[in-house]
Amino acid sequence: MNTIYILKKRPFGIPEADIWKRQTEAVPQISDGEVLVKHHYISLDPAIRGWMNEGKSYIEPVNLGDVMRAGTIGIVEASKHAHFKVGDYITGWGGVQNYAVTNGKGWHKIDPSLAPLPMYLGVLGMTGMTAYFGILEVGKISAGDVVLISGAAGAVGSVAGQIAKLKGCTVIGIAGGPDKCRHLIENLGFDAALDYKSDTIVNDLKQACPKGIDVFFDNVGGEILDLALTKLRRHARVIICGAISQYNSKTRIKGPSNYLSLLVNRATMQGMVVFDYADRYQEAAITMAGWIQSGQLKSEETIVDGIDNFHDTFLRLFTGDKQGKLLLKVI
Ligand SMILES: NC(=O)c1ccc[n+]([C@@H]2O[C@H](COP(=O)([O-])OP(=O)(O)OC[C@H]3O[C@@H](n4cnc5c(N)ncnc54)[C@H](OP(=O)(O)O)[C@@H]3O)[C@@H](O)[C@H]2O)c1
């Protein structure tokens, strides 16, 4: 049987469980040119929250009545497709369900002998690609830069920080709570880590970067972005990757009031969307696989079992109750 999570209504604020219709159906049949994929892992991303909203964005919202969009990895169980064979492991936008039928568009094969499957949704998947292109192409880091990263213990932030470190930067992470901060320094090699939930965050940031920052990789937005803007050095780069602190807001999104720091410091603030780099994913994956092999890059995942845990696990993105990439195992 196929368990499917369908978006039934649009959330307002933190999503409640009643936005989903959980449906169980027979495993679907395929037609010519299609494959049946049995999912092993479903990627849980903050972007899912954005796709639930109506309105213009970098991608169409999920329509009410549709399967919730999510990145997945699975094995081909049946195929009437020229390129994908039974037994191939493939990744694509299969959605929150146990089985997906696809014509193969947007899906590609992965090799489970080269890396564990979860890694293809994390460091070698969309979040790893975001970190790679964000920090290197948008951040234009070079050795000696002071790099500040918010959401630093998350899927994107932890990889971006490690890349900056291996490129010779001084890296300061911002994360929620002392345990995550300790982890960033002791296990991922960050030079400093600051707890944004602490009352001393303003002073802690001042102490951590007395001469300011060259790059700010922002995953969080809101007050953290505003604070970071006060620390820019001349020609600093601010990468707007995400704004998770604002995704469940019931009021207007808070913009930065300290934006004139961009003017004073001749700095730039640039948004990025990972999909713009799709034709270079292969290059990034090969490079990052090399760093993983040489021990310069650590991959971290929090894996939760069972599709029925989808809603509660998804909310852990907003409570921070996880480390690295968050995945649902559904096999
Ligand atoms: N532009 C792109 O193409 C692109 C692609 C992928 C992801 N993104 C964005 O990148 C960001 C990170 O994504 P991810 O997949 O790596 O997620 P993630 O960081 O693995 O998970 C979200 C983390 O955000 C932190 N958080 C939650 N609420 C917060 C708040 N109110 N204030 C501060 N921190 C909060 C939590 O960590 P703590 O315990 O530290 O609070 C949580 O673990 C998101 O904003 C996402 O939308 C953008």
Q: Is the CB of 174 under 6 A from ligand 1?
A: no
Question: How far apart are the C-alpha atoms of 108 and 88, rounded to whole Å?
Answer: 10
| CATH code for residues 126-275 | 3.40.50.720
3-state secondary structure of 18: helix
> What pLDDT was estimated at residue 121?
98
List, by residue range, all CATH 3.40.50.720 domains of the chain.
126-275
Predicted pLDDT at 55: 87
- pLDDT tens per residue across span 84-97: 999 999 999 999 99
With 90 as the cut, is the pLDDT of residue 254 above it? Answer: no
Atom of ligand 1 nearest to the CA of 49: 47
Where in the sequence of the chain do the CATH 3.90.180.10 domains occur? 2-122+300-329
Q: What is the pLDDT of residues 152-167, one digit of tens each?
A: 999 999 999 999 999 9
Residue 242 Cα: closest atom of ligand 1 = 45
What percent of the chain has a predicted confidence (pLDDT) above 70?
100
pLDDT tens, position by position, 194-252 = 999 999 999 999 999 999 999 999 999 999 999 999 999 999 999 999 999 999 999 98
Residue 152 CA to ligand 1 center (angstroms) comes to: 8
325 alpha carbon to ligand 1 midpoint, in Å? 10
Kindly report the CATH number that applies to the domain delimited by 2-122+300-329: 3.90.180.10
Check whether 105 has a pLDDT greater than 90.
yes
Answer yes or no: is the C-beta of 320 below 6 A from any ligand 1 atom.
Answer: yes
Q: Assess whether pLDDT exceeds 90 at residue 258.
A: yes
For residue 311, name the pLDDT band (cuts at 50, 70, 90): very high
Contacts with 14 (C-beta within 8 Å, 6 or more apart), sequence order: 248, 315, 318
CA 221 to ligand 1 centroid distance, Å: 10
Counting atoms of ligand 1 from 1, which one is nearest the CA of 158? 16
* Spatial separation of the C-alpha atoms in residues 217 and 238, rounded to whole Å: 6
Question: What pLDDT score was predicted for residue 280?
Answer: 97
Looking at ligand 1, which residue's alpha carbon is closest to its atom 36? 320
The answer to whether residues 68 and 39 touch, using CB atoms and an 8 Å cutoff, is no
Residue 53 Cα distances to 56, 68, 243, angstroms = 9, 12, 15
Residue 261 phi, psi (nearest 5): -60, -25
**Each residue's pLDDT tens digit, 5-22:** 999 999 999 999 999 999
Q: How much is the pLDDT for 324?
A: 97
Cα 150 to ligand 1 centre (Å)? 8
24-56 pLDDT, tens digit each: 999 999 999 999 999 999 999 999 999 999 988
> Is the CB of 121 inside a 6 Å radius of any atom of ligand 1?
no
What's the chain's average pLDDT?
A: 97
E strand or H helix that includes residue 203 = helix 201-208
Atom of ligand 1 nearest to the CA of 243: 45
Residue 98 has pLDDT above 90, yes or no: yes
